[in-house]
Amino acid sequence: MNIVPTLRKPRATVAVAAVAVLALALGACGKDSGSGGSEDKAKAAGITLVKPGKLTVCTHLSYKPFEYKDGTKVVGFDVDLLDLVAKDLGVEEEVISIEWAQVTSGAAYQAKKCDMGMGAMTITPSRQAAIGITEPYMDASQVLLVKSDASYKSLEDLKGKKIGVQADTTGKDYATAAAKKIGFEVVVFNDLALQTNSVKSGRVDAAINDNGALYNFVTANPDTKVATEFDTGEKYGFAAKKDDPSGQKLISKFNELLTKAKSDGTYNTIYKKWFGIEPKK
């Protein structure tokens, strides 16, 4: 009589124990997928991130509408494009602002401050020699910003005047080359806001910078206008550490996702969100 209960009790105990072990195992699996899953996905892609669980991106704020602060959050066209990489890796994108020269020279990646760099960065031979760069994601040109009531229509009209440029940019290179031929003074500013506001205040007579940033500025500042465009044939790319396995993997990953985004309409959606129009075909 006592045999059956005696035999049943251990079986029940074993069953409960088995359920408990299974629950612990499932619980453990759940924890792995939550805390380590994203790291595992990046690792599986051959990518070692400078901060586990995050795609850290360096830029130099502010460069509206490509990357700028909206409250405490950094937003913009570039931010949304690189977020495609972060989401694909299952990690969070984190943006930090540093000196622009560190982004374009590669110093930021060598110092492990970030995984990638952004900032409406024109692809140039000198930058390609220093850093890894993605395929082009947008065409750009330089434009001339003046006050809305100014009569300047070309650089030749600004002979003897002052033209503001942003440090370490292709706009600075373009203006410096033209200044030698035409004869105007180049005034260098550390960021876009200082440069554009100096046109409004009259500190400089005009400014040269990328079309996307200055057309956006004019929209919000009707006392200024774009006087003319210079067809410089520039193309933007994102940066990563050159000759580095993780850097190369990140570049390949973005190139792959850019192709996909252009084919499924995601790129057009992001472009229209920040520029208000569809990109030219």
- The CATH fold assigned to 46-139+235-275 is D-Maltodextrin-Binding Protein; domain 2 (3.40.190)
Query: Comparing 46-139+235-275 with 140-234, is the CATH topology the same?
Result: yes
Q: Which two tokens stand for residue 182?
A: 């035409």
**Window from 38-42, 147-151, 180-184, 265-269 with minimum mean pLDDT:** 38-42
Judged against a pLDDT cut of 50, whether residue 29 lies above it is answered with no
One-letter identity of residue 183: G
pLDDT, mean of residues 19-43: 48
pLDDT at 37: 55
Structural domain boundaries in the chain: 46-139+235-275, 140-234
Q: How many residues does the chain have?
A: 281
User: For the CA atoms of 254, 257, 263, 267, what is the dihedral angle to 10 degrees?
Assistant: -70
pLDDT tens-digit map of 89-140: 999 999 999 999 999 999 999 999 999 999 999 999 999 999 999 999 999 9
- Distance between CA 45 and CA 221 in Å, rounded? 45
- The CATH fold assigned to 140-234 is D-Maltodextrin-Binding Protein; domain 2 (3.40.190)
- Distance between CA 182 and CA 202 in Å, rounded? 21
pLDDT at 40: 76
Instruction: Work out the angle at residue 67's Cα, subtended by the Cα atoms of residues 202 and 259, and round it to the nearest 5 degrees.
Output: 130
